[in-house]
Amino acid sequence: MPFVRFIGFSIIRAWQGFWRNAMMSLAATATVILMLVLLSALLIVITGLNSGLEFIESKVAVTAQLEDGLTDAAVATLTREVEAVPGVASVEYVSPAAAMRRLEESYRETGQELDTGGATIRLFASLEISLDDPDASGTVSAELTDDPRVERVLTKQAEYDTLLGIINVIRTVGLVGIGLVGLTVLFMIINTIRIAVYSRANEIEIMRLVGASDSFIRWPFILEGILCGLVGALVTIVLVAVVWDPIQPAMVTIFQMPTAVSARFLTTLSVLLLAVGLGVGALGSWISVRSYLSAAR
């Protein structure tokens, strides 16, 4: 089985080459770990924030505080008009009495009782408008702002826009950072393999003289680079697994909103880290060996 023997030979030579140039190999592996840790952090944060964004999208609504003294017929007419606005999913009328019951219930949920000290709390009637599309809140608000039956309009669009802006900034900064570290990783692997190639230049020349193909010469070096990526990916996966349990509460504390990163995501992330580590290692090695063999012809 010549092919099996070739694979075995390449793996052994890659392992020997990795430890023959141990300092550079470990340095390259460390940069791979740094890149993959940054990639993991970016993906975890963006995934968690996206879940928070979905939560806010489900809560984005418009509340129209109504003028005092509106008749039931006027409220019913306004409700029908709002329901006809594009982007509106449903409209619910909340009377002052219902609003008071909600306030009392919210206190009871925290183990407290609402105590006004004898003062009268004045609550307003309102329409709570649920939306099909969070972006429709601007249109709905514009429709209601100048309506004489509406005292004022409240919306959570500002919170939604703020979170969306934060996600875009984190994504942009994270991708730029990962790109810069990725270039550093490629540079380190290219130099590591290049040093290994030059240290074995005489051996390569002898192999060429006896008829060895470029593929036969190239693959041990490519596997050496892949080994750097593999070790870096495995170390990163272990690190992520160790800190996985504290990630969820930490994200909720930092971003002050419900976030979710599922356990299934850990499996997907591990596969991605392994693929990126192997891919960067293979690419850096291939570039280094290809440039040397091309120049040596």
Domain ranges for the chain, please list them.
Answer: 2-55+161-296, 61-155
The residue whose two tokens read 């307003």 is 124
3-class SS of residue 90? strand
pLDDT at 235 (0 to 100): 94
Locate 230 and state its tokens. 């593999």
State the Cα angle at 40 between 35 and 45, rounded to 5°: 130
Smallest CA-to-CA distance from 196 within 16, 21, 14, 15 is with 21
- Domain 61-155 matching CATH 3.30.70.3040: the answer reads yes
pLDDT at 179 (0 to 100): 82
pLDDT at 238 (0 to 100): 93
Angle in degrees, 0-180, between the axes of helices 214-242 and 22-59, rounded to the nearest 10: 50
pLDDT at 167 (0 to 100): 74
Give the integer Cα–Cα distance in Å for 96 and 98. 5
Give the integer Cα–Cα distance in Å for 147 and 142. 9
The residue whose two tokens read 């070739």 is 6
Give the integer Cα–Cα distance in Å for 127 and 64. 5
pLDDT at 166 (0 to 100): 77
Smallest CA-to-CA distance from 10 within 228, 258, 219, 286 is with 219
pTM, two decimals, is: 0.66
pLDDT at 237 (0 to 100): 92
pLDDT at 233 (0 to 100): 92
List residues bridging with 129 in a β-sheet: 62, 91
pLDDT lower than 70: segments of the chain = 1-4, 6, 9-10, 53-60, 103, 106-107, 109-112, 114-121, 134, 156-160, 163, 212, 214, 251-261, 292-297
State the Cα angle at 78 between 77 and 80, rounded to 5°: 65
Distance from the Cα of residue 248 to its chain's centroid: 13
Give yes or no for a contact between 295 and 89, defined as CB atoms under 8 angstroms apart.
Answer: no
